[in-house]
């Protein structure tokens, strides 16, 4: 059993290997081994220790000769030599082989059979195997016989890398070789590293096939109209795509091909800090049942969850199979997008709640990937909002240059005539600390109007700072909400704050100025006004 389960991984186990256990079997193993405990509703609760989020500075890409010219080298993709990776991966394999028990899962990434990859995870913990089983696509039993992985994840959360000999920065190291098709994850128990390592792989493979990989959620209406939702953490991507009136295609990662949209995953990985049953009933219900995995969520002695408690981290997470959402689009595949929505949580309170974008403006905002962080959502932040830009709304997962993805989006939007929207789920009536958070009811109403086509029929006006087209009036939305300046008591303060954000956008975009055509440059805020 051990040899077959580890075929192609290079790991030789001294103990038993539990291959492709289902959720109940993994629960039993995890509880027996003391890896966590159960919530009162039956979810498995795990604590990840020191690492409660991704270790961005400890991510490395191997400088394989056949890939080096196309990789976006820098802080995102740090170089690791082939020699160091060979030494490091050999050590990881040896360490895994010496563990008393191992768990493997054979899974797919990509709902489209033409473009999926086969993934084999080798890990020391049953709960990490359950996480992967929830997150990726589970093959039918008959497809497991003779399963040969395209990529292997060697997951060694308790192994400490050696910076002196392994070419890494700390005892934590996430290293990916495209040539050898191997990912090594060491020194961190945060399960998101498993998910995002395969997303990075898909971001590498698919553009060469003419397919745009996207860090977005997607849903589809009853008429078959597909909508994409881009947005960084905290912007409401998962919440807004989980719409009871639309079927969820997927939560986080998708491809856009000539045939339409397809989900990369078989699960959802939702941030649950201060999750409300009233505002987000689908995610709430999915997180309060057997089969879900909760990371760093606080509960009392009887397992009753306190989702308002961020004492371990603000980045509390729930991982569950997509089938836990009642209205999913079975199969994870749908048609071509009709609407592309880019979400931002503007803590400066100066962006409109919704605005319509041209194709060039869409590429501009896609390459910008703006949101703003505030105190209380991340440690170390002061009282003032901080602008953050993550190109393509997923910079940490882009192995290729951002312009590659930006040009693909621009071409696809133009080719298929998708409507593009910028939606602010952040603050209104003032910046964070003065204004108030945008009403989710207003956001949902505006989105539904955009997606059903009625919003495109109203009269628009141009914002003088950002060049955005704002609807002047929308049924059911109070006057003064649509134009953010109207909601500020101090109009001069609004103008000053908006001008400052314009400057931040312009400074961030300087690195792309030489890589985009004139239409995108013309869409850059000031020129659009």
Active site residue 196: yes
User: Which position among 133, 237, 356, 365 bears the catalytic label?
Assistant: 237
From the centroid of its chain, how far is CA 386?
20
CA distances from 108 to 132, 136, 152, 251 (A): 10, 6, 12, 16
Active site residue 428: no
| pLDDT, average across residues 24-51 | 98
Could you report the per-residue pLDDT of 93-113, keeping only the tens digit for each? 999 999 999 999 999 999 999
How open is the CA angle 382-384-386, to the nearest 5 degrees?
90
User: Which residue bears the tokens 């932040």?
Assistant: 381
pLDDT of residue 476: 87
Indicate whether 378 pLDDT > 90. no
Could you report the per-residue pLDDT of 168-211, keeping only the tens digit for each? 999 999 999 999 999 999 999 999 999 999 999 999 999 999 99
Could you report the per-residue pLDDT of 315-327, keeping only the tens digit for each? 999 999 999 998 8
How open is the CA angle 27-30-33, to the nearest 5 degrees?
145
Q: Using CA atoms, how far apart are residues 343 and 279, in angstroms rounded to an integer?
A: 18
pLDDT of residue 279: 81
In SS3 terms, 409-472 reads as HHHHHHHHCCEEEEEECCEECCCCCCCEECCHHHHHHHHHHHHCCCHHHCCEEECCCCCCEEEC
Share of the chain above pLDDT 70, in %: 96
User: Which position among 91, 128, 155, 215 bears the catalytic label?
Assistant: 215
pLDDT of residue 356: 96
Could you please state the CATH topology (level 3) that the domain comprising 2-21+55-209 is classified under.
Phosphoenolpyruvate Carboxykinase; domain 1 (3.40.449)
Could you report the per-residue pLDDT of 429-475, keeping only the tens digit for each? 999 999 999 999 999 999 999 999 999 899 999 999 999 999 999 99
Where does the pLDDT of residue 528 fall: very low under 50, low under 70, confident under 90, or very high at 90 and above? very low
User: Which residue bears the tokens 């394999």?
Assistant: 93
Could you report the per-residue pLDDT of 139-166, keeping only the tens digit for each? 999 999 989 999 999 999 999 999 999 9
Q: Which helix (H) or strand (E) holds 20?
A: none
Could you report the per-residue pLDDT of 212-241, keeping only the tens digit for each? 999 999 999 999 999 999 999 889 888 888
Q: Using CA atoms, how far apart are residues 336 and 415, in angstroms rounded to an integer?
A: 11
pLDDT of residue 105: 98
Active site residue 252: yes
User: Which position among 9, 55, 177, 238 bears the catalytic label?
Assistant: 238
User: DSSP letter string over 229-297?
Assistant: EE--TTSSHHHHH--TTSEEEESSEEEEETTEEEES-SEEEEE-TT--TTT-HHHHHHHSSTT-EEES-
Active site residue 237: yes
Could you report the per-residue pLDDT of 242-299, keeping only the tens digit for each? 888 899 999 899 999 999 999 999 999 999 999 999 888 889 999 999 999 999 999 9
Q: Is 359 exposed, middle or buried (0-12, 13-18, 19+ CB in 10 A)?
A: buried
Higher pLDDT, 424 or 238: 424
User: Which position among 106, 166, 251, 252 bears the catalytic label?
Assistant: 252
Active site residue 54: yes
Where does the pLDDT of residue 375 fall: very low under 50, low under 70, confident under 90, or very high at 90 and above? low
Q: Using CA atoms, how far apart are residues 101 and 123, in angstroms rounded to an integer?
A: 9
Indicate whether 312 pLDDT > 60. yes
Indicate whether 526 pLDDT > 70. no
Q: Using CA atoms, how far apart are residues 132 and 337, in angstroms rounded to an integer?
A: 28
Which of 331, 333, 335 has its CA nearest to residue 224?
335
- Residue partners of 523: CB distance under 8 A and separation at least 6: 358, 360, 361, 363, 364, 467
Could you please state the CATH topology (level 3) that the domain comprising 338-450+466-524 is classified under.
Phosphoenolpyruvate Carboxykinase; domain 3 (3.90.228)
Domain regions of the chain by residue span = 2-21+55-209, 338-450+466-524
């Amino acid at each position: 059993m051990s040899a077959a389960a580890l075929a192609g991984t290079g790991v030789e186990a001294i103990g038993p290997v539990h291959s492709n256990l289902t959720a109940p079997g993994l629960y039993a193993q995890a509880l027996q081994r003391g890896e966590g405990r159960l919530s009162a509703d039956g979810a498995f609760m795990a604590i990840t220790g020191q690492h409660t989020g991704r270790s961005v500075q400890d991510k490395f890409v191997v400088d394989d000769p056949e890939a080096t010219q196309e990789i976006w080298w820098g802080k995102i993709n740090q170089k690791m030599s082939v020699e160091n990776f060979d030494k490091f991966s050999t050590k990881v394999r040896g360490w895994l082989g010496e563990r008393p028990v191992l768990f493997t899962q054979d899974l797919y990434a990509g709902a489209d059979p033409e473009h999926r990859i086969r993934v084999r995870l080798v890990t020391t913990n049953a709960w990490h195997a359950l996480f992967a089983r929830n997150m990726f696509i589970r093959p039918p039993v008959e497809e497991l016989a003779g399963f040969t992985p395209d990529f292997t994840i060697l997951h060694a959360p308790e192994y400490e890398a050696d910076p002196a000999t392994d070419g890494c920065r700390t005892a934590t190291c996430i290293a990916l070789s495209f040539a050898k098709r191997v990912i090594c994850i060491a020194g961190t128990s945060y399960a998101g590293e498993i998910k995002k390592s395969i997303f990075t792989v898909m971001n590498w493979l698919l553009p060469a096939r003419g397919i745009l990989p996207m860090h977005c959620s997607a849903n589809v209406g009853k008429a078959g109209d597909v909508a994409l939702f881009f947005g960084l953490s905290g912007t409401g991507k998962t919440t807004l795509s989980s719409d009871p009136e639309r079927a969820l295609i997927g939560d986080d990662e998708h491809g856009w091909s000539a045939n339409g949209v397809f989900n990369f995953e078989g699960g959802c990985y939702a941030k649950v800090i201060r999750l409300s049953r009233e505002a987000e009933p689908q995610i709430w219900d999915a997180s309060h049942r057997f089969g879900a995995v909760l990371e760093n969520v606080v509960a009392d002695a009887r397992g009753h969850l306190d989702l308002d408690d961020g004492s371990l981290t603000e980045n509390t997470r729930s991982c569950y199979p997509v089938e836990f959402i009642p209205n999913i689009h079975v199969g994870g595949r749908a048609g071509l997008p009709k609407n592309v929505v880019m979400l931002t949580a503007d803590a400066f309170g100066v962006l409109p709640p919704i605005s319509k974008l041209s194709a060039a403006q869409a590429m501009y905002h896609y390459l910008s990937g703006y949101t703003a962080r505030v105190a209380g959502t991340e440690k170390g932040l002061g009282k003032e909002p901080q602008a953050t830009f993550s190109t393509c709304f997923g910079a940490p997962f882009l192995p290729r240059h951002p312009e590659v993805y930006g040009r693909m989006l621009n071409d696809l939007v133009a080719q298929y005539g998708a409507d593009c929207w910028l939606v602010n789920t952040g603050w209104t009536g003032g910046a964070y600390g003065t204004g108030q958070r945008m009403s989710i009811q207003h956001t949902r109403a505006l989105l539904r109007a955009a997606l059903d086509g009625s919003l495109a029929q109203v009269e628009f006006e141009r914002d003088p700072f950002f060049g955005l087209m704002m609807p002047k009036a929308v049924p059911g939305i109070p006057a003064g909400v649509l134009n953010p300046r109207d909601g500020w008591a101090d109009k001069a303060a609004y103008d000053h704050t908006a001008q400052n954000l314009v400057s931040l956008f312009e400074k961030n975009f300087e690195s792309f100025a030489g890589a985009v055509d004139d239409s995108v440059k013309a869409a850059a805020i000031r020129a659009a006004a």
